[in-house]
Chains A and B, each alone.
Chain A
C-alpha cells in the first residue's frame, strides 16, 4: 500500500494545476451540498417549529367519521318508491358533542400531555371606521397555553389579561396593525349572525408566521360562543403530545375513540410537507448533477494520466507491481481528490454557512425572519464528504481498470 500511495500522491502532485481544478470542482459541490441542505433544513425547521408552537400537534375536528343517516332517508327505507337524490346542507353548523369526554379520553392515551377545546369561526373586527375580517378563536387560555404556548409570543399587553377579562381579545400583530389598535383600545366584533360584542384589546402577539399574525384573534371560549352565536358549542379540540412523529398514529386512535375526524399536524400541513419534499428532490437533483460534473473532472484527469502513463505502468509492472496495485494507484488518486475536495469543501462550506447566517435579510412570507435561517448539523458535512469521496472513487473506476489492464509487453513493443 505504501508503494501505491507513494506513486498515487506523486502523480497528483506532479499535475498540481489539473488536480487543483478537479479538487476545486468537488469542493464547490460539497459547499453547495452543505449550504443548500442547511438553507432548506433551516427554512423547514423554522416553518414547522413556529407552526407547531402556534398549532396543536393534533386536532379533533367537528367532522363526524360516521355522519348520521339523513332523516328523510331514514324514513323512506328500501321499499319506498321515492328516493332521496340530493339533500340540502343543514343550516346548523357542525359541532363536537361531549367535548369534555373526548378530552378526558384522549388525555388517558400515552404521549398525550394536554388538550384544549376551541370554537373557531369568522368575525369582522371594527375599530373606528376600520373593519377587518379575522379568524376568531375562542379558547380556555390556560389550557390553550399548554397546547400551543402563545403566551411566549405576546409582544404587548399580558396574556393573563385574556384569562381574567371576559371581554378581552388578543390580536395577531398584523391584525392590530391593520386595525390601527393598541393594547387598551376597545373594538367591536361582529359574528356571522350579526351579533356584535364590544371587546378590549388585552394583548398583541406575534408568532413570526405572517399567515397567523395577520388573521388570528383569540378570545375566551364563552366570548367566542357569544360572537358566533353558538352557545356551549365547541368545533375543535387541540392536543399537545410528547413525540410529534407519533401524531398520525395518535390521531387515528383519538379519531376512533371520539368518532370525529382527528388530524395530525403532518396531515394539516401535508401541502407544505409535500412542497418541501419536492423542493428537496429538486435540490438533490441539482447537487447530484454538480457531483456528477465534479466526478467527470476527476474522471477526465485520471483518463489523461492513464493514457500518458502507459509506459510508466509497464515499467511498474516490470518491477513487480501487480495489476491490483496498479488498479489501486488510480482508485486511490480518485479517492484522494475526493477527500481533498471534501476537506476544502467542508472548510469553505463552514465559512459560507457562517457568512450567510449573518446576512441581514428581512423576509416575510411563510415565516418572518430578519436573517437567513440555516440549520447545520455535523452529519451534513460527513454526508457531503462521503458523497465527494464516493464520487471520486466511482469516477476513478474506469481509468483504474483501464490502467490495470495495460499489458506491459504491448507497451514495450510499442503496440499500445
Chain B
C-alpha cells in the first residue's frame, strides 16, 4: 500500500496481523497490513472506532507484538527483539503522545519531560536543560515547575508532546492527541504537530478528525483491520 516515497522508510509494516484472544473467542483486529512510512512524513491514520488504528500504532511503536508479520523501525526488524531491546528502541527512536495526556502526576512538567532523557543516560543537568529547551519551544517555560494538575488540558497535552520530543526521537506516534481537547486547544496542539513535522520529524497520528487528517501530508484510512485508502496530499 506504500506510495513509493523517495526517502528511505523509517517505519515499515509487512503483512502485519493481530488477533486478540484464542479459539472461538479470537478476534481479528488487524489483517495483512503493509505500510511504509518515509522519513519526515506526517501520516494520519483515520477510520471508525474499532477499525484497528490504535492497534496498528501500538504495533508500529513496539508496545505490542504482532500475531504475524513484521515491524521494521529504522531498518531494524523488531519481532525477534526481546523486551529490553524493544524498550531501548522506544526510548531512542520513538516518542508517544496519547489522547489523555498521561503525564505522571507526582512529577512536575519539567520532570515529566526529563524522564526519557534520564532513561537514555543523560545527566540530570543535561536532562533539565533539554527539558527547558523543549518546554520553551512549546511555550511552557513559565510552567515548567508546575504539576500536571496545575495545568490546563491543552498545556498538559503540550507537556506530553514535549516529553515525546525530549529525547529527539525519529518518529512521534500520537494516539488521538486532540481527541480530548476543545476545538481551540485541539487546533493549538495540531499546530504544534504541524511545526514539528515541518522541522523534518516523522509523525504518525491516529485521529477521528477528517479535517485535521486532510491537513497532514498523508492520510491512511482503515476499516475492519485493513487499509482501505492511502492518499498523499
| A→B interface (CB under 8 Å) | 2-3, 6-7, 10-11, 13-14, 311-312, 314-324, 408-409, 412-413
Looking across the interface, which residue of chain B has its beta carbon closest to that of A323? B83
Chain B: minimal CB distance from A250 (Å): 62
Q: Does B191 contact A (CB under 8 A)?
A: no
Q: Is the CB of B115 within 8 A of A322?
A: no
Once bound together, how far apart are the Cα atoms of A7 and B84, in whole Å?
A: 19
Q: Is the CB of A412 within 8 A of B84?
A: no
| B→A interface (CB under 8 Å) | 54, 58, 61, 63-64, 83-84, 87-88, 90-92, 96, 98, 102-107, 111, 115-116, 118-120, 124, 163, 175
Q: Is the CB of B102 within 8 A of A315?
A: yes
Once bound together, how far apart are the Cα atoms of A409 and B111, in whole Å?
A: 24
Partner of A320, one of B90, B111, B124: B90
Q: Is the CB of A3 within 8 A of B118?
A: yes
Q: Is the CB of A319 within 8 A of B91?
A: yes
Chain B: minimal CB distance from A25 (Å): 23
Once bound together, how far apart are the Cα atoms of A7 and B116, in whole Å?
A: 12
Q: What are 6 A-B contacts defined by CB distance under 8 Å? A: A316-B115, A319-B90, A319-B91, A320-B88, A409-B58, A409-B64
Partner of B98, one of A2, A7, A316, A412: A412
Looking across the interface, which residue of chain A has its beta carbon closest to that of B107? A10
Chain B: minimal CB distance from A155 (Å): 68
| Residues of the B chain whose Cβ atoms lie less than 8 Å from the Cβ of A324 | 84
| Residues of the B chain whose Cβ atoms lie less than 8 Å from the Cβ of A14 | 105-106
| Residues of the B chain whose Cβ atoms lie less than 8 Å from the Cβ of A2 | 118, 124
Once bound together, how far apart are the Cα atoms of A413 and B115, in whole Å?
A: 23
Once bound together, how far apart are the Cα atoms of A412 and B111, in whole Å?
A: 22
Given contacts A7-B115, A319-B119, 16 further A-B contacts (CB under 8 A): A3-B119, A6-B111, A6-B118, A315-B102, A317-B63, A319-B116, A319-B163, A320-B92, A322-B84, A322-B87, A323-B83, A323-B84, A408-B63, A409-B58, A412-B54, A412-B63
Looking across the interface, which residue of chain B has its beta carbon closest to that of A407? B64
Partner of B104, one of A13, A315, A320, A323: A315
| Residues of the B chain whose Cβ atoms lie less than 8 Å from the Cβ of A316 | 104, 115
A6-B118, A10-B106, A412-B175 known; A317-B58 Cβ under 8 A: no
